[in-house]
Structure 1
Amino acid sequence: MKGSYWRLILILIFQLHLQAALCDTEFDNVCNSVPKPQPPARQYDFIYFVQQWQLSVCNLRSCLKPARQVFSIHGLWPASYSRKTQCNCGSEFVPKKISDLVDKLNVEWPSMIHEDNTLYWKNEWESHGICSEAVLPQRAYFDAALKLKQKYSLVNILAQKDIYASGNVYSKGSITDAIKTATGHSPQIQCNLYKEIPLLTQIFLCLDYNATKIIECPPSKRCQYEDLMIPYSLFNT
């Protein structure tokens, strides 16, 4: 009996050593047959940080809130160079996740056409933010937009090149050059026509996929006019 017992022990020890040896070879998949969970694939190449000139917005459509001479946040939009960015799933907007940011968001990211800013933020998150959720979860997404707004003050950037909301007309090229001088990269400029007057409405800055570094924006056709006005008041209707 003693001999059989020790033979069994030796066989078990041999099998354990054999299994360990296999795990150190190309047969490693034998020891790890259950696949490890993978992080969600990133579905975009870069991110637009979009700021809108409130007075242009409110000259072009009815606003429920007084427009100021400021750029406010419109959104942080994941985008792709060669395809339309589509995000069909993601977490729903949860207001309590950004409760500590609400005061700043009310100032820097207000809705001009809705009374409830929360509905605006919900729409931006569920339309755009969920695309970047693997990199920027909900709170990080809104916090990133606030930090970008503080870092890239377009009013100050344009003022450095004597571009103001003064009723004067400026070339689209001069606006682009002012931003490129300050950031090192070209933005995209959006304009809309109001009674034959091209108004600067939005400026798009482009950032890397995690919204930490500004990059060159791809060419765009958001504005077909060469001379633009930055309105300093609401026009008479």
Structure 2
Amino acid sequence: MEAIRNLNLASLLDTFVSLTTAFVLGSLIGLERQVRQRTAGLRTNTLVAVGAAVFVDMANRMSGHDGAVRVVAYVVSGIGFLGAGAIMKEGANVTGLNTAATLWGSAAVGACAGADLIGEALIAALFVLASNTLLRPVVNRINRRPVDEEASEATYRVYVVCRRDAQAELREKIVELLEAAQYPVREVEQHAFGQTDAEIQATLYATAVDSSELDRVTAALQAQPGVSHAFWDSSAEE
């Protein structure tokens, strides 16, 4: 009855404090990622933190700091292979990360139970379930919100379509107007556009912008002689 002898209220309280810390800090990290709508979001980061805490806490109780260090290495290499099988990539879309993290958390619960740390396994299971159930409404609420352009990280580009004989002057004008708006240009490219026109593409250093500022810049560019179109767009960064 090793499992019953291993039940210790002081140790269980210590485990609870460790997992609560991992849960809270993992949630904070995941919340920031979820707000930015990254693939590994709120629940995924929380599960990783809780799972790692369970493994290390268990090894530390069983064989001290040396055992905990060894378990960390095994967790990184072993569960990584298991989780990789659950992750699917289709073009730019990646699915299965939360499943992989749940597998990691489940492995932590199983490891505790196998080591006769029944109380620790119960606590770990409760936290894994909480990550996947209690946090789900929070994730759904965040995902229903439109992306805040000032909080998001993206690559921003300004485009101008103009007559070819005006592109040299307009290239300088684009750089001038953007720098005046505090959006320095990282790169400028020019391409032929149809038989008589050219397209100028300016990529910004900024990863977050005020959309109204860029609207004013493109409106000023649209008013320049020889310009037929001026607009800007963004693409998400990982």
State the TM-score bracket (shorter-chain normalisation). under 0.3
- The structure whose RCO (Cα within 8 Å, separation 6+) is larger is 1
TM-score by length of 1: 0.28
Query: Larger % of helix: which?
Result: 2
